[in-house]
């Protein structure tokens, strides 16, 4: 009499059980990869927004009259005089950036100082970042 380790039915049942276990695991891994890609995209957009804010804070920018600026790409942004020196690694970005610059005087320690108030609104693929920056003239 021949002794086999597994019969055909046992082999088919074992393969079927393995498939039942592996398919959900593969789906979960694919979801994790998709989520990781989204997080990386959001992180790169946030890094771009932070570098833009740091540029505005660091540069000696002071505007004498109120302005409303709109930019749709990195090329549009760099063409403007305010952002000539701005550099970022991701130059292929498409976004919607609104920059409202208000000019006013601020009472600071009983003296009036001229200030610029930058209202920044960044939008890209359902991602919205906003910030306000106050810069004194001196």
Mean pLDDT per 10-residue interval, the chain, length 138 residues:
70 85 82 90 86 85 84 84 76 83 85 89 87 85
Q: Residue 61's pLDDT is what?
A: 79
Alpha carbon distance 69, 57 (integer Å): 17
CA distances from 59 to 54, 84, 85, 86, 136 (A): 8, 11, 9, 10, 12
Q: Residue 119's pLDDT is what?
A: 93
Q: In terms of Cα–Cα distance, which of 124, 106, 130 is closest to 116?
A: 106
Please name the residues in contact with 112: beta carbons below 8 A apart, sequence gap of 6 or more. 105, 106
- Statement: the pTM of the whole predicted model exceeds 0.95: no
Q: Residue 6's pLDDT is what?
A: 67
Q: Residue 60's pLDDT is what?
A: 82
Q: Residue 3's pLDDT is what?
A: 63
Q: Residue 4's pLDDT is what?
A: 67
Q: Residue 5's pLDDT is what?
A: 67
CA distances from 42 to 39, 65, 124 (A): 5, 34, 9
């Amino acid at each position: 009499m021949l002794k086999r380790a597994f019969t055909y039915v046992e082999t088919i049942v074992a393969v079927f059980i393995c498939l039942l276990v592996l398919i959900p695991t593969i789906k979960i891994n694919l979801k994790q990869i998709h989520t990781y890609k989204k997080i990386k995209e959001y992180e790169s957009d946030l890094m771009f927004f932070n570098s833009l804010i740091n540029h505005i804070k660091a540069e000696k920018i002071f505007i004498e009259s109120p302005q409303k600026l709109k930019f749709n790409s990195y090329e549009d942004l760099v063409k403007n005089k305010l952002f000539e020196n701005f550099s970022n690694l991701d130059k292929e970005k498409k976004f919607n950036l609104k920059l409202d610059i208000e000019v006013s005087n601020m009472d600071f320690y009983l003296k009036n100082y001229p200030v610029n108030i930058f209202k920044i609104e960044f939008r890209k693929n359902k991602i919205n970042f906003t910030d306000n920056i106050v810069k004194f003239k001196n």
